[in-house]
Amino acid sequence: MADLSTNFVGIKSPNPYWLASAPPTDKEYNVVRAFKAGWGGVVWKTLGAEGPPIVNVNGPRYGAVWGADRRLLGLNNIELITDRPLEVNLREIKQVKRDWPDRAMVVSLMVPCDEESWKAILARVEETEADGVELNFGCPHGMSERGMGSAVGQVPDYIEMVTRWVKKHSRMPCIVKLTPNIADIRKPAEAAKRGGADAVSLINTINSITSVNLDDFSPEPMIDGKGAHGGYCGPAVKPIALNMVAEIARDPATAGLPISGIGGVSTWRDAAEFLALGAGSVQVCTAAMTYGFGIIKELNAGLSQYLDDKGMTLDQLQGRAVPNVTDWQYLNLNYVTKARIDQDLCIQCGRCFAACEDTSHQAISMSPDRKFEVIDSECVACNLCVNVCPVQDCITMEELPLGAVDERTGETVREYANWTSHPNNPMARAAE
Amino acid sequence: MSNSPTTPGIQPGRLSPDAYGAHFDDLYPAYDPHEAMVAADRCYFCHDAPCITACPTEIDIPLFIRQIQAGQPDAAGKTIMDQNIFGGTCARVCPTETLCEGACVREMAEGKPVEIGRLQRYATDSLMERPDHPYTRAASTGKHVAIVGAGPAGLSCAHRLAMHGHDVTVYEAQDKPGGLNEFGIAAYKMAGDFAAREVEWLLGIGGITIRTGQALGRDVSLDALRAEHDAVFLGTGLGDVNQLGIPGEDLDGVRDAVDFIAELRQTDDLSRLAIGRDVVVIGGGMTAVDAAVQSKLLGAERVSMVYRRDRAAMSASDHEIDHAATEGVTILTGATPVAIHGQGAVAEVEFAYTGGDETFRLKADQVFKAIGQKLVPVDGLATEGRKFAGVPLAGVWAGGDCTGGGEDLTVTAVAQGRDAAEAIHADLTGNGI
Ligand SMILES: Cc1cc2nc3c(=O)[nH]c(=O)nc-3n(C[C@H](O)[C@H](O)[C@H](O)COP(=O)(O)OP(=O)(O)OC[C@H]3O[C@@H](n4cnc5c(N)ncnc54)[C@H](O)[C@@H]3O)c2cc1C
Ligand SMILES: Cc1cc2nc3c(=O)[nH]c(=O)nc-3n(C[C@H](O)[C@H](O)[C@H](O)COP(=O)(O)O)c2cc1C
Ligand code: SF4
C-alpha cells in the first residue's frame, strides 16, 4: 500500500483528496460523513461576510449533460455561496476540526473587495483553528455581479491586492482559487504569486448554458420561464482544467507554485493525471455529488495500487509529466507514424473509412467484402481513425524507424527536428 | 371446469384463468424510453451498414437508430415505414438473428448485436401512436388496380399504389384482412389485436377498398379482374397444406397445424380452446415450432416436435428452436412418421428412424401436421412445386409466399409487394421500368 499522506503548503491530510468547496462541504453533517468515509480533507463551502445570509433561487439550480445511459457528463449550477449564517458555519468548522484533527480543513472565503472586510473575516476563521483559507475568485454567477468571485478573479491586479491583504492579516496558508473564465490562466496565477499566495487551486466552474428548452425557449435550468448562465463542472471540464494546471506548472513565472487541482476528478486515474501535471492535492465536487462519498474508497485504492505497480511514491508522481508538456513548435516533425488496422480485431463497421474518406485524407481503402486497409502513401498519421474505431487497439499508430521512407512524402525518416529550424518557417530563415 | 395439464384427452381450461393472459402476452415487451436510448446508443452507425443489406426491405437501420438517439422515435418510425409499411409486424416477427441482427458488426464483435428488432418496434409504435397517417396520396392517376389477398404482400402493394395515386380494390377470401399476420403468426409475437390495428392504420392513407369474402376462383375470376382493372396483383399466399399420406391420418385428433393456429388466433377466450394432454407435432419449420409452443402454453402436459431430418436442416431458426426447448417442448429429429394408431381417435404415432427400419411410438391424444404449405392453383396460371411457376400474363403481377424466391417470411412478402407496386406504377404511367 503506497503512502498517500500529503503535506500541501503545510496542510496535512491522510490522502490527497479534498472535497471542493460546494454543497458537499456546506455543513458539519456532510463533512463528518465525508471524513467517516475516508476523505482526506475539505474546503468548506464559501463563507461570505457577516450580515443577512445569502439568498438562493428556490427553483432548480442545476443543468446537466448526460450520456445515453444518463451517465452525468457535465453539471452546471447557479448556486451562490453558503446561505447559512456565518456564525453557524464557524462554530461547526471549529467543532469538526477539533473532532478530526488529522484531516485538512480549509475555509473558502468571498467577501467584498475592501481590506476591512477581509481582515474581519480572517480573524473569525483563525479562531476555528482551521488549517488554511481558500480565496474564492472563481464563482462565475450571482456573486460576480456584486463585484466578488470571478469579477475579482478576472482582474489580476485585484487578485494580487486581496491576496496581499490576506497574507498581511493572517498567519494561515492562503490558497487562491482561480476562475477558468479568462483568456490566459497564467496571468491570475502570477498575480496570486506576487501577492504572496502559498498556492493556487483551479479550476472553478466555467460559464455555460447546458441546454435550451425547445418548448419554452429558455436556458436550463429554467426558473419561471427564464434561465441564467451557470458554472459548468464534472467530467466534461477535466481537459480544460488539466491544460490550465499544466500551463501554470510549466510557466517559469509560476513554476513551483503549489497547485490544488480541481475539475472533473471522478476516478483515481483523473487524480493521477492532475498530480502528474504538477498538482499537490486534488479537489472533487461533482463526482461526490453524483455518487456519494463512497467513491473515496476507489480513489484511494486505485491511486495506491497504481503507485505500487509503478514502484513510485506520491512525490515521484507529482509533476512527472510537466517536463513533457511543450509547445507545438518543439514537437519532432521527423516522428512519422502510419495507422495500422489489425484485421483480426476489425469488426468491419467501416467508421474509419467514413472518417478518413469523408473528412480526412482518403487513406483507407474498402474492399467489396469490407476489408479496410491503410494506404501508406496517403496516410498523414492524424489518428482520427484510431479515435473513431469502436474496438480498442484495433487501429494503432506504428512509428517508422529512422532511415525508412515515408511513402506519402517520399522522404527518409531523419533525426529529431522541429518547426523552429524547418525550411518552411520564415522565422527560421530570418534567423539564418 | 377443473381440468389440469394431466387431464386425459383434448380438453379446454387446463390452466388457471389468469395464466392465459401471461402466456400469450408479448414475448419481448416494448422498450420504455430509457431502455430504447441505451439500446440505440450501442449502434455504431456503420459505413454502408451490413444490416441494411441483410434486411429484405433495406431499411436504413443506422439512420432510424440515430433518430431514436436524437429523441425522435416517430421520425425513426417514418424512416422504417418508407421502406416497409409493415415495419410494426416485422419488428415483432422477423427472425432478426438471421437477418439484420445477424449481420450487425456487434454480433461479430461480442455475440451481442444491437437489438434492431426491438428498436424498430419502439420506433414504429411511436409513429403509429400519432393521430395522423404519415403518408399522403399523389394526385389521382385515374388508374385502378385489383389486388388478390389482403396479406402482407397484397397490402404492402396496395399502400404503395395508393401513395402513387392509383385506386386499389383488394379481394380477400377471408372475412378479415391481414393474411397470416391475423391468422398465422404466433399469438405471443402479435399480442393483442396488433394485426388488425396495423391494417386499420395502413388503410389511413385512403384509396384502398378491401372486399372481404371475395375469393379468386370462387367469387371472381382472373379474367374478370383483368378486364375490369388496369393491373392485377396476386398475393394469395399458400392456402393449402401438404398431407402425410400415412395410415390413420383421418383419425380424430389429427389436425393441420395451420388450422389450429388460425383457430387459436381467432379465439377471444383461450381458456375455451381445447388442447391435448400428449401433443405430437410433425414438422421442423416455423409453423411446427409455433404449434408446439402454443400447445405447451395452452397447458398440454407433454409436447413433442418430431422432424424427419437433422436439426441443421430444420427451417425454423436456432433462436425459434431454443425458444421451443425453453418452453418445455421435446425436440426429436431423424424420425419419419409411418402410421397413426388409435380406435376412432388418435392414441399413438409410430415413427421410423429415418433411413432405417426400427420404429418407436409416441403416446398422443392430439397430432398437428406442419409439413409445409402449398399454393391453391389459379385457373390460367401454371404451378411449379408449391408455388406459381411465374406470371406470364400481361398486366398481372404476383408476390409473397405464392411466388418462388422468397423465404416465406413476412418481410420478403412486404418487399415483393412494394416492388411489384413500383413496377405496376411504372407500367401504368409509362415511366419505363
Ligand atoms: C404458423 C406460421 C407462423 C409464421 N411465423 C412467421 C414469423 O414468425 N416470422 C415471419 O417472418 N414469417 C412467419 N410466417 C410466414 C409469414 O406469415 C408469411 O411469409 C407471410 O404472411 C406471407 O405473406 P403473403 O401476403 O404472401 O401471404 P398470406 O399472409 O398468406 O396472405 C395471403 C392472403 O390471401 C388470401 N387469399 C388466399 N387465396 C385467396 C383467393 N383465392 N382469393 C382471395 N384471397 C385469397 C388469404 O386469405 C390471405 O389473407 C409464418 C407462417 C405461418 C404459417
Ligand atoms: C453546486 C455547486 C456549488 C459550488 N459552490 C462553490 C462555492 O461556494 N465556492 C467555490 O469555490 N466553488 C464552488 N463550486 C465549484 C467547485 O468547488 C469546483 O471548483 C467545481 O465544481 C469543479 O470541480 P468538479 O468538476 O469536481 O465538480 C461549486 C460547484 C457546485 C457544483
Ligand atoms: S491516421 Fe488519419 S490519415 Fe491516416 S488512415 Fe487514419 S484517419 Fe486516415
Dist. CA A382 → ligand 3 center (Å):
5
Question: In Å, how far are B243, B309, B341, B352, B356 from B359, measured between CA atoms?
Answer: 21, 15, 13, 4, 8
CA B404 to chain centre: 16
Contact A5, A104 (CB under 8 A): no
**A305 and A389, same domain (yes or no):** no
Residue A368's domain spans which residues? 329-431
Percentage, residues of chain A above pLDDT 70: 99
What is the average per-residue pLDDT within B202-218? 97
Q: Cβ atoms within 10 A of the Cβ of A325, count?
A: 16
Residue B281's φ and ψ, nearest 5 degrees, are: -110, 130
d(CA B239, CA B226): 22
Q: DSSP of B159-182, one letter per residue?
A: HHHHHTT-EEEEEESSSSS-THHH
A108 located within any domain? yes
Residue A419 has pLDDT above 60, yes or no: yes
Instruction: Please report, for the domain that includes residue A262, its CATH number.
Output: 3.20.20.70
B2 located within any domain? no
**A208 and A344, same domain (yes or no):** no
B41: contact with A, CB 8 A cutoff? yes
Residue B218 has pLDDT above 90, yes or no: yes
**A226 and A94, same domain (yes or no):** yes
State the number of CA atoms in the 13 A half-sphere of B280 facing the CB. 25
Condensed to tens digits (0 to 9), the pLDDT of residues A54-103 reads 888 988 999 999 998 899 999 999 999 999 999 999 999 999 999 999 99
d(CA A376, CA A372): 13
- In B, which residues are within 8 Å of A67 by CB distance? 41
User: Across the interface, do B105 and A67 touch by the CB < 8 Å criterion?
Assistant: no
B1 located within any domain? no
B135 located within any domain? no
Choose one of A324, A342, A361: the last residue of a domain. A324
H or E element at residue B321: helix B318-326
The number of domains in chain B is 3
Residue nearest to atom 2 of ligand 2 (CA): A22
Chain B stretch 333-392, residues whose beta carbon is closer than 8 A to a beta carbon of chain A = none
Residue A320 has pLDDT above 50, yes or no: yes
Please report the pLDDT score of residue A90 as a whole number: 98
User: Across the interface, do B44 and A390 touch by the CB < 8 Å criterion?
Assistant: yes
Residue nearest to atom 10 of ligand 1 (CA): B409
**B253 and B367, same domain (yes or no):** yes
Could you say which DSSP state residue B300 is in?
-
A1 located within any domain? no
A26 located within any domain? yes
- Quick check: ipTM above 0.90? no
Instruction: Please report, for the domain that includes residue A406, its CATH number.
Output: 3.30.70.20
Q: Across all residues in chain A, what is the average pLDDT?
A: 95
d(CA B349, CA B351): 7
Instruction: Please report, for the domain that includes residue B330, its CATH number.
Output: 3.50.50.60
How many angstroms separate the CA of residue B82 from the nearest CA in chain A?
A: 24
Give the 3-state secondary structure of residue B19. Answer: helix
**B260 and B360, same domain (yes or no):** yes
**A261 and A404, same domain (yes or no):** no
d(CA A61, CA A76): 8
Q: Is the peptide bond before A248 cis (omega within 30 degrees of 0)?
A: no
Q: Across all residues in chain B, what is the average pLDDT?
A: 95
**B258 and B344, same domain (yes or no):** yes
**A211 and A103, same domain (yes or no):** yes
**B174 and B321, same domain (yes or no):** no
A12 located within any domain? yes
B108: contact with A, CB 8 A cutoff? yes
**Of B41, B45, B48, which has the smallest distance from its Cβ to A68's Cβ?**
B41
d(CA B125, CA B194): 10
The number of domains in chain A is 2
- Nearest Cα to A160, choosing from A116, A131, A125, A192? A192
- Which ligand ends up closest to the CA of A46? 2
**A96 and A223, same domain (yes or no):** yes
**A120 and A243, same domain (yes or no):** yes
B22 located within any domain? no
Condensed to tens digits (0 to 9), the pLDDT of residues B227-245 reads 999 999 999 999 999 999 9
User: Across the interface, do A348 and B105 touch by the CB < 8 Å criterion?
Assistant: yes
Residue A429: pLDDT band (50, 70, 90) is: low
What cell numbers appear for A394 in the block?
484495433
**B289 and B333, same domain (yes or no):** yes
How many angstroms separate the CA of residue A363 from the nearest CA in chain B?
A: 15
Please report the pLDDT score of residue A139 as a whole number: 67
Please report the pLDDT score of residue B406 as a whole number: 60
- Which ligand ends up closest to the CA of B187? 1
Instruction: Please report, for the domain that includes residue B68, its CATH number.
Output: 1.10.1060.10
Could you say which DSSP state residue B224 is in?
H
What cell numbers appear for A286 in the block?
461533482
Choose one of A280, A295, A324: the last residue of a domain. A324
Active site residues of A: 139
Dist. CA A22 → ligand 2 center (Å):
5
**B160 and B88, same domain (yes or no):** no
- In A, which residues are within 8 Å of B41 by CB distance? 67-69
B274 located within any domain? yes
Residue nearest to atom 12 of ligand 2 (CA): A21
User: Across the interface, do A68 and B106 touch by the CB < 8 Å criterion?
Assistant: no
Query: Is the CB of A136 inside a 6 Å radius of any atom of ligand 2?
Result: yes
Residue B431: pLDDT band (50, 70, 90) is: low
Residue B83: pLDDT band (50, 70, 90) is: very high
Residue nearest to atom 6 of ligand 3 (CA): A385
B25 located within any domain? no
Instruction: Quote the longest CA-to-CA distance of chain B.
Output: 68
A428: contact with B, CB 8 A cutoff? no
Q: Which of B38, B45, B47, B69 to mutate to test the interface with A (most CBs of A within 10 A)?
A: B47
State the number of CA atoms in the 13 A half-sphere of A318 facing the CB. 19
Ligand 2 atom closest to the Cα of residue A235 is 25
What is the average per-residue pLDDT within B318-332? 95
Q: Which of A70, A349, A364 to mutate to test the interface with B (most CBs of B within 10 A)?
A: A349
Please report the pLDDT score of residue A431 as a whole number: 47
Residue B146 has pLDDT above 80, yes or no: yes
B73 located within any domain? yes
Condensed to tens digits (0 to 9), the pLDDT of residues A233-247 reads 999 999 999 999 999
Please report the pLDDT score of residue A430 as a whole number: 53
User: Across the interface, do B46 and A353 touch by the CB < 8 Å criterion?
Assistant: no
**B52 and B102, same domain (yes or no):** yes
Dist. CA A372 → ligand 3 center (Å):
12
Higher pLDDT, B379 or A296: A296
Condensed to tens digits (0 to 9), the pLDDT of residues B241-293 reads 999 999 999 999 999 999 999 999 999 999 999 999 999 999 999 999 999 99
Strand partners, A74: A65
B174 located within any domain? yes
**A267 and A334, same domain (yes or no):** no
User: Across the interface, do B41 and A348 touch by the CB < 8 Å criterion?
Assistant: no
What is the average per-residue pLDDT within A389-395? 96
**B245 and B366, same domain (yes or no):** yes
- Which ligand ends up closest to the CA of A339? 3
- Nearest Cα to B233, choosing from B139, B326, B322, B143? B143
A158 located within any domain? yes
Please report the pLDDT score of residue A317 as a whole number: 98
User: Across the interface, do B38 and A351 touch by the CB < 8 Å criterion?
Assistant: no
CA B109 to chain centre: 30
**A308 and A239, same domain (yes or no):** yes
Give the 3-state secondary structure of residue B398. Answer: strand
**B198 and B152, same domain (yes or no):** yes
**A266 and A372, same domain (yes or no):** no
Choose one of A286, A305, A324: the last residue of a domain. A324
Ligand 1 atom closest to the Cα of residue B378 is 41
What is the average per-residue pLDDT within A41-62? 92
How many angstroms separate the CA of residue B422 from the nearest CA in chain A?
A: 28
Condensed to tens digits (0 to 9), the pLDDT of residues A107-131 reads 999 999 899 999 999 999 999 999 9
Residue nearest to atom 19 of ligand 2 (CA): A204
**A231 and A369, same domain (yes or no):** no
A349: contact with B, CB 8 A cutoff? yes
Residue B298 has pLDDT above 60, yes or no: yes
Residues contacting B345, CB < 8 A, separation 6+: B251, B252, B253, B365
Please report the pLDDT score of residue B284 as a whole number: 94
Choose one of B330, B352, B372: the last residue of a domain. B372
Percentage, residues of chain A above pLDDT 90: 91
3-state secondary structure chain A: CCCCCEEECCEEECCCEEECCCHHHCCHHHHHHHHHHCCCEEEEEEECCCCCCCCCCCCCCEEEEECCCCCEEEEEECCCCCCCCHHHHHHHHHHHHHHCCCCEEEEEECCCCCHHHHHHHHHHHHHCCCCEEEEECCCCCCCHHHCCCHHHHCCHHHHHHHHHHHHHHCCCCEEEECCCCCCCCHHHHHHHHHHCCCEEEECCCEEECCEEECCCCEEECCECCECCCEEEECHHHHHHHHHHHHHHHHCCCCCCCCEEEECCCCCHHHHHHHHHCCCCEEEECHHHHHHCCCHHHHHHHHHHHHHHHHCCCHHHHCCCCHHHCCCHHHCCCCCCEEEEECCCCCCCCCHHHHHHHHHCCCCEEECCCCCEEECCCCCCCCCHHHHHCCCCCCEEEEECCCCCECCCCCCECCCCCCHHHCCCCHHHHHHC
A426 located within any domain? yes
**B245 and B328, same domain (yes or no):** yes
**B217 and B295, same domain (yes or no):** no
Please report the pLDDT score of residue B1 as a whole number: 53
**A318 and A357, same domain (yes or no):** no
What is the average per-residue pLDDT within A211-224? 95
**B265 and B368, same domain (yes or no):** yes
Residue B150's domain spans which residues? 144-239+375-428
